[in-house]
């Protein structure tokens, strides 16, 4: 059997078709394989849409070099404005000979896995999960607001009262909002949902509470429940693949409304410019602005 191709993300189809038998290893693909845990399987080659953050990108490149045999072909690309020009220097620092081709506003780098790559451990350490002393939480480069408190989340933490009953933190990140909710002894359960496998792994470590359950999945495709929750707390995403996508936040609001029973409450924080009011008004019986400062707003919406 031919060994599989390691595929990270979805390179533009105009440049690369998905290789046959590829194994998806992006942490943003709930159906994919965990690149951090993948045993030393024999991948034949790799096709990588490199992520934008430096530490995250170098972790992916280093982990790929660790998993591939000497001589294996690696193609890594990224848009010019999302770290494309940083791929070749990173690969060269690992001891690779690289060609770096600009095409369709992307940089496409090609290399063969050297016999003895260097510096992998340093990159794996720098881009791996860590307990951040400033946050007092487990985090990892690449997850949302991984190295500093998010101001929108902070505003919600200050505004939301003690919650009660069964709840969910939709797009939980490393679990900051769920931790706040669980300070209330009246909370019986909370589901933590996120599309990012790394965020869920950090949340598991941060939220060590038997009332919490963890779900690596796309909130928009959530099949669970209907009218079964008492509260939702969330800072919904509004970026998909690096581009602003307002429909994403609106979809989160619709899912929250579907999951909440009558009288259930949704606490939501958002950037001030995001027009969620109409979606909230449509899905909830009462919507109140509870805080607004520094470019962020917090709503309490009752089902
Ligand atoms: C603005 S962040 C909020 C994170 C965390 N709740 C906080 O307040 O710090 C939004 C989160 O939603 C996640 N996310 C993005 N799209 C998603 C989707 N379709 N389904 C589930 N989670 C998603 C992101 O990975 C990110 O962790």
Looking at ligand 1, which residue's alpha carbon is closest to its atom 4? Answer: 173
Distance between CA 197 and CA 56 in Å, rounded?
Answer: 13
The CA 68 to ligand 1 mean position distance, Å, reads 31
pLDDT band for position 21 (cuts 50, 70, 90): confident
For residue 181, the CA-to-ligand 1 centroid distance in Å is 17
* 57 C-alpha to ligand 1 centroid (Å): 20
Residue 212 binned pLDDT confidence (cut-offs 50, 70, 90): very high
- Is 144 near ligand 1, meaning CB less than 6 Å away? yes
Whether the per-residue pLDDT at 122 is higher than 90: the answer is yes
- How many whole angstroms separate alpha carbon 137 and alpha carbon 140? 10
Between 243 and 101, the higher pLDDT residue? 101
Atom of ligand 1 nearest to the CA of 194: 22
Q: Which residues, other chains included, contact 106 with Cβ-Cβ below 8 Å and sequence gap of 6+? A: 12, 15, 77, 78, 79, 80, 84
- CA of residue 83 to ligand 1 center, whole Å: 22
What residue's CA is closest to ligand 1, atom 17?
Answer: 195
Q: Is residue 303 exposed (0-12), middle (13-18) or buried (19+ Cβ within 10 Å)?
A: buried
pLDDT at 100 over 90: yes
Residue 219 Cβ < 6 Å to ligand 1: yes
The yes or no reply on domain 130-302 and CATH 3.40.50.150 is yes
* pLDDT for the residue numbered 71: 97
28 lines ligand 1 (CB under 6 A): no
Helical spans, DSSP H, in 160-266: 176-181, 197-206, 246-259
Q: What percent of the chain has pLDDT over 90?
A: 90
Q: What is the mean pLDDT of residues 253-276?
A: 96
Domain positions in the chain are 5-126, 130-302
Q: What number of residues does the chain have?
A: 303
Average pLDDT (34-58) is 90
Residue 3 has a pLDDT of: 83
Residue 184 reports pLDDT greater than 90: yes
Q: Give me the CATH topology for the region 5-126.
A: Rossmann fold (3.40.50)
pLDDT tier at 246, thresholds 50, 70, 90:
confident
Give, using CA atoms, the residue closest to atom 11 of ligand 1: 171
> How many A from CA of 22 to the centre of ligand 1?
26
| Spatial CB neighbours of 204, under 8 Å, sequence gap ≥ 6 | 214
Mean pLDDT of 261-273: 96
Contact 169, 214 (CB under 8 A): no
Question: Which residues of 96-186 form beta strands (DSSP E)?
Answer: 98-103, 106-112, 130-132, 137-139, 165-170
Q: What pLDDT sits at residue 235?
A: 97
Say if ligand 1 is within 6 A of residue 218 CB: yes
Mean residue pLDDT across the chain:
95
Q: Please report the pLDDT score of residue 302 as a whole number.
A: 98
Give the residue among 148, 96, 94 at the shortest CA–CA distance from 123: 94
Ligand 1 binding pocket mutation candidate from 145, 171, 191, 206 (most atoms within 8 A of CB): 171
Percent share of the chain, pLDDT over 70: 99
Query: What is the tens place of the pLDDT at every residue in 124-178?
Result: 999 999 999 999 999 999 999 999 999 999 999 999 999 999 999 999 999 999 9
Q: pTM for the whole thing?
A: 0.96
Cβ–ligand 1 distance for 196 under 6 Å, the answer yes
Mean pLDDT across 204-213: 98
Contact 219, 170 (CB under 8 A): yes
């Amino acid at each position: 059997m031919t060994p599989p191709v390691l595929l990270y993300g979805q390179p533009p189809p105009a440049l690369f078709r998905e290789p046959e038998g590829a194994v998806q290893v992006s942490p943003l693909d709930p159906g994919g394989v965990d690149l951090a845990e993948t045993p030393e399987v024999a991948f034949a080659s790799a096709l990588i849409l490199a992520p934008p953050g430096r530490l995250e990108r170098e972790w992916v490149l280093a982990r790929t070099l660790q998993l591939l045999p000497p001589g294996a072909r690696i193609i890594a690309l990224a848009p010019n404005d999302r770290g494309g020009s940083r791929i070749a220097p990173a690969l060269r620092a690992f001891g690779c000979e690289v060609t770096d081709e600009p095409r369709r506003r992307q940089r496409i780098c090609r290399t063969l896995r050297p016999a003895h790559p260097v510096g992998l451990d340093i990159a794996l350490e720098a881009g791996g999960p860590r307990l951040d002393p400033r946050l007092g939480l487990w985090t990892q480069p690449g997850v949302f607001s991984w190295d500093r408190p998010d101001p929108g989340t902070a505003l919600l933490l200050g505004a939301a009262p003690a919650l009660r009953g069964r709840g969910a933190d939709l797009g939980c990140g490393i679990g900051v909002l769920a931790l706040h909710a669980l300070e209330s002894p009246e909370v019986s359960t909370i589901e933590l949902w996120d599309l990012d496998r790394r965020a869920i792994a950090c949340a598991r470590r941060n939220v060590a509470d038997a009332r919490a359950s963890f779900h690596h999945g796309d909130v928009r495709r959530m099949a669970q429940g209907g009218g079964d929750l008492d509260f939702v707390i969330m800072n919904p995403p509004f970026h998909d693949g690096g581009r602003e996508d307002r429909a994403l936040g609106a979809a989160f609001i619709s899912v929250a409304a579907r999951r909440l029973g009558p009288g259930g409450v949704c606490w939501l924080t958002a950037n001030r410019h995001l027009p969620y009011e109409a979606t909230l008004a449509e899905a909830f019986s009462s919507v109140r602005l509870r805080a607004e400062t520094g470019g962020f707003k917090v709503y309490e919406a009752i089902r």
